[in-house]
Amino acid sequence: MKRGPRGLCAGFIVASPPIVIHVGMMTPLLVLMIVAGWLLVFTMHLSQRRQLRSPSSAGDDHPPVSILKPLKGVDADLETNLESFFDLDYPEYELVFGVQDPSDPALAVARRVADRHPDVSARFVAGGPDIGLNRKVNNLANILPRVRHEHLLISDSNVMVMPDMLSDMMGHLARPGVGLVTSLIRGTGGRGLGGALESLQLNTFVMGGVAAVSGFGRVCAVGKSMLLRRRDLERIGGFARLGRFLAEDQVCGEEIDAIGLKVVVCPRPVDNVLGRLSVRSFAGRHLRWARIRRRINPIAYAGEILTNPVPPALALLLVNPGAMSFAMAAVTVFILSAAAFESERVLGIRRRALVYPPLAILRGLTVGAGWPVPLLSSTVAWRGTRYRVGPRTLLEPKRGRQPSNESV
């Protein structure tokens, strides 16, 4: 095989001997992928900024709301997270906490916080039958018979909110034709390298992706914070239907859209409190969500490779080292770092500017290495159980158990 002046192979064998991709063909392809990545990162960043600048929708109508809080174990800063829901600036609401195991320590934390706020109605549900394989939805299904109000806010245990959150979300739900309101998610409280990577992922790719997708009129529902009416939940089959899926939030949004109601994103973020995470935990969480996106929309997931210009920039340096390749790699790191710095600055998160380049590179490489996995594997580990994920994230049990400390 002939070699060029720098000792590089003149071609690479891919898939089978007759298919040869030459370096001369790879270089323009990689350049196109890198430039496409720049444009997509810029688009997501602008969409995120535009949505965050949207005005509050808090109105004069404040119907009573039931807040459903499924609990599972003591998440990072659980007591502070729950406390924020007892301090909401809203006329009438109730909190209903649920655990599947009566001995779950999260129940004692919730009771302790409720005891400090006797003016806020709070009830507790422990145990109950399973209606599906999604354990969070099983918990919600057992909570639902105990709630009193028509308007339901489903909120995860690792979420912390500002006092005006509920008023803002209700203002969006009160708009004509709206059936479900979901929230942007801000990653906060991340400790350790994995926590920093997770925060960066949530505050750039995830938030920017949600903003861009919803901005183009597509359904994007995030289950950490969702507000809807009980009658609409019943129209789509209730928790009994949603409990069959891993991505019950996205399926709920799609079903609400299918009955002719709008799904909107509230621009006021709620905080996903992360706690200490390892890089392995970050990679595991990302892979689970990547498998979800792959099953929800395979074409869109395939296109996600273009939103991450780090791997093609590194590949370009390897196959065609030189000033142009180095410059494109440097511009890639600058764009990702600047977008991340500005996004987190707007969100009120302060880091030293010099932290962003290595974080952006490591995040890009970790996410890039995991991108092919959902194309080859449909198994996820969630809360200690392994599942096979089918179309629309339909769950099927798989033999064996695997320890997992991932949040719901």
What pLDDT, in 10s, does the model give residues 72-114? Answer: 999 999 999 999 999 999 999 999 999 999 999 999 999 999 9
Quick one: average pLDDT of 27-56? 95
pLDDT of residue 6: 39
Q: What is the pTM of this model?
A: 0.89
Tens digits of residue pLDDT in 302-317: 999 999 999 999 999 9
* 225-229 sheet: strands from edge to edge: 121-126, 93-99, 65-70, 151-155, 225-229, 178-191, 262-276, 159-160
pLDDT of res. 23: 56
Asked whether residue 407 carries a pLDDT value surpassing 50, the answer given is no
Q: Do the beta carbons of residue 105 and residue 73 sit within 8 Å? A: yes
pLDDT of residue 315: 96
Confidence of residue 370 (pLDDT cuts 50, 70, 90): very high
Nearest alpha carbon to residue 189 among 275, 94, 103, 130:
275
Higher pLDDT residue, 387 or 255? Answer: 255
Taking residues 308-335, what's their average pLDDT?
96
pLDDT at 403 over 50: no
Taking residue 322's Cβ as centre, other Cβ atoms within 10 Å add up to 10
Query: Looking at the predicted structure, is the pLDDT value of residue 350 above 50?
Result: yes
Q: Which of 233, 364, 209, 365 is CA-nearest to residue 292? A: 209
The H-assigned helical ranges of 124-247 are 135-143, 165-173, 192-201, 207-215, 230-235, 238-242
Q: Is the pLDDT of residue 149 over 90?
A: yes
